Amino acid sequence: MKTVYLDNNATTKVEDRVIEVMSDYFSNIYGNPSSIHDMGFEAREKLEEAREKIAQLLNCKSEEIFFTGSGTESDNIAIKGAAYKYQKNGNHIITSKIEHHAVLNSFKALEKEGFNVSYVNVDKNGIIDIDHFKSLIKDNTIFVSIMHANNETGAIQPIEKISDICKGNNIIFHTDAVQTTGKLIIDLEKMKNIDLLTFSGHKIHAPKGIGVLFKRKGVHLKPIMHGGHHERKIRPGTENVPYIIGIAKAFEIAQNEHDKNEKHIRELRDYFYNQIIGNFDKIIINTPIENSVYNTLNVSFKGLEGESILLTLSEKGIMASSGSACTSDSLDPSHVLLAMGRDHLTAHGSIRFSLSKYISKEDIDYTIDILKETITKIRNISPYK
């Protein structure tokens, strides 16, 4: 049976060229980068080369790059580390209602510890309401975290504007760029008011379990884990050299081949969108097409259960997602769609399709054909029709 993988916002296939460069580091260059011998020196040298490569791609300094164990870990280190460090200046922190749980639950944990948290609203397109954001800022606001683009809808957020407002108010600004790194060009010299930024390997064709944290020079974090001197004590633990080599290679490929990939993926996503619009009724498009990451299409089939659509698609080899993968074990409707003002019925019937460079037009045509069969079948037995 044909397999069409349309769940690339959940995770991606590891690129062959990435596996190739990593393999040497499991069996040959396996020294501990902290060791004082030739094998350790070699591992350290390669690790620092990878750090330098990532810094160049982001247009920042290599000492501003820290390796972590995941996007979630980078988010936790940035959010809790900044909140604790700057607590003496105030205890008010701000995030949005549509963040990934790595961010939302970090704020919830801080809220339990006594921090005062405000949650910014989004409009019906899932984009931050800047006026609401401005109205939330108080004299004691010390920290703001707003994602670069949403994982469920692909909506791109006005983070440069938000970071400028933060700078003007002496507030530290963090962005979760897990869904944009490698897809949108991020230039930290130009985006000069971003203080902290996180991303993850497995969304850019590197392995799971490797993350990056950018911390601008002059911004300080209180470490939330304790151990050795690794990653200048921001993230103690022996560095995962093979995966660090892998994420640097994957990011380099993504940047070097960006224009070609963007053109290919955007054309297919827009074709998919037009096919959906043309072939289905009782749908709501949750992705703001003109202002979204070009690989994402989130659509609600009104009155239907997202999970039953997903399982039927999966039987035909099509892998998609309802909301974020991390909430697929919960039957709660997506907090992102609810924040956008969608009702429960619409939120429950949402499917997220997320494309990669490996998808072809034939894959999209096959998906549309199967989707037509699936929706007709499920609507026939649905009490909502």
Give the one residue of 102, 171, 320, 364 binding ligand PLP; rule: CB under 6 A.
Answer: 102
Of the pair 75, 363, the CB lying nearest ligand PLP is at: 75
Question: Shortest Cβ distance from residue 354 to ligand PLP (Å)?
Answer: 10
Residue least distant from ligand PLP (Cβ): 71
User: With binding defined as CB under 6 A, does residue 207 bind ligand PLP?
Assistant: no
Q: How far is CA 371 from CA 153, 250, 299, 308, 367, in A?
A: 19, 32, 12, 12, 6
User: How many chain residues touch ligand PLP (CB under 6 A)?
Assistant: 15
User: With binding defined as CB under 6 A, does residue 335 bind ligand PLP?
Assistant: no
Of the pair 42, 353, the CB lying nearest ligand PLP is at: 353
Question: Shortest Cβ distance from residue 79 to ligand PLP (Å)?
Answer: 11
User: With binding defined as CB under 6 A, does residue 352 bind ligand PLP?
Assistant: no
User: With binding defined as CB under 6 A, does residue 179 bind ligand PLP?
Assistant: yes
Give the one residue of 44, 53, 80, 100 binding ligand PLP; rule: CB under 6 A.
Answer: 100
User: With binding defined as CB under 6 A, does residue 71 bind ligand PLP?
Assistant: yes
Give the one residue of 176, 239, 252, 363 binding ligand PLP; rule: CB under 6 A.
Answer: 176
Give the one residue of 43, 47, 128, 147 binding ligand PLP; rule: CB under 6 A.
Answer: 147
User: With binding defined as CB under 6 A, does residue 246 bind ligand PLP?
Assistant: no
User: With binding defined as CB under 6 A, does residue 153 bind ligand PLP?
Assistant: no
Residues within window 18-57 making contact with ligand PLP, judged by CB under 6 A: none
What is the 3-class SS of the chain, one letter each residue?
Answer: CCCEECECCCCCCCCHHHHHHHHHHHHCCCCCCCCCCHHHHHHHHHHHHHHHHHHHHHCCCHHHEEEECCHHHHHHHHHHHHHHHHHHHCCEEEEECCCCHHHHHHHHHHHHCCCEEEEECECCCCCECHHHHHHHCCCCEEEEECCCECCCCCEECCHHHHHHHHHHCCCEEEEECCCCECCECCCCCCCCCCCEEEEEHHHCCCCCCCEEEEECCCCCCCCCCCCCCHHHHCCCCCCCHHHHHHHHHHHHHHHHCHHHHHHHHHHHHHHHHHHHHHHCCCEEECCCHHHECCCEEEEEECCCCHHHHHHHHHHCCEECECCCHHHCCCCCCCHHHHHCCCCHHHHHCEEEEECCCCCCHHHHHHHHHHHHHHHHHHHHHCCCC
Question: Shortest Cβ distance from residue 133 to ligand PLP (Å)?
Answer: 19
Instruction: In whole angstroms, give the CA distance from residue 381 to residue 385.
Output: 8
Which of these segments, 52-60, 67-75, 117-125, 303-311, binds ligand PLP (CB under 6 A)?
Answer: 67-75
326 included as an active-site residue: yes
Give the one residue of 72, 153, 287, 354 binding ligand PLP; rule: CB under 6 A.
Answer: 72
Instruction: In whole angstroms, give the CA distance from residue 214 to residue 233.
Output: 14
Give the one residue of 12, 14, 46, 70 binding ligand PLP; rule: CB under 6 A.
Answer: 70
Say how many Å lie between the first and final Cα of the chain, rounded: 30
Question: Shortest Cβ distance from residue 178 to ligand PLP (Å)?
Answer: 4
Tokens encoding 282 = 């009782």
Question: Shortest Cβ distance from residue 180 to ligand PLP (Å)?
Answer: 9
Which of these segments, 71-79, 248-256, 264-272, 302-310, binds ligand PLP (CB under 6 A)?
Answer: 71-79
Burial class (CB in 10 A: 0-12, 13-18, 19+), 20: exposed
Question: Shortest Cβ distance from residue 170 to ligand PLP (Å)?
Answer: 26
Question: Shortest Cβ distance from residue 199 to ligand PLP (Å)?
Answer: 8
Catalytic residue among 326, 338, 345, 368: 326
User: With binding defined as CB under 6 A, does residue 151 bind ligand PLP?
Assistant: yes
Is residue 203 within 8 Å of residue 154, measured between CB atoms?
A: no
Question: Shortest Cβ distance from residue 109 to ligand PLP (Å)?
Answer: 15
- The residues that are catalytic are 326
The residues of the shown chain that bind ligand PLP, judged by CB under 6 A, are 70-72, 75, 100, 102, 147, 151, 176, 178-179, 200, 202, 211, 324
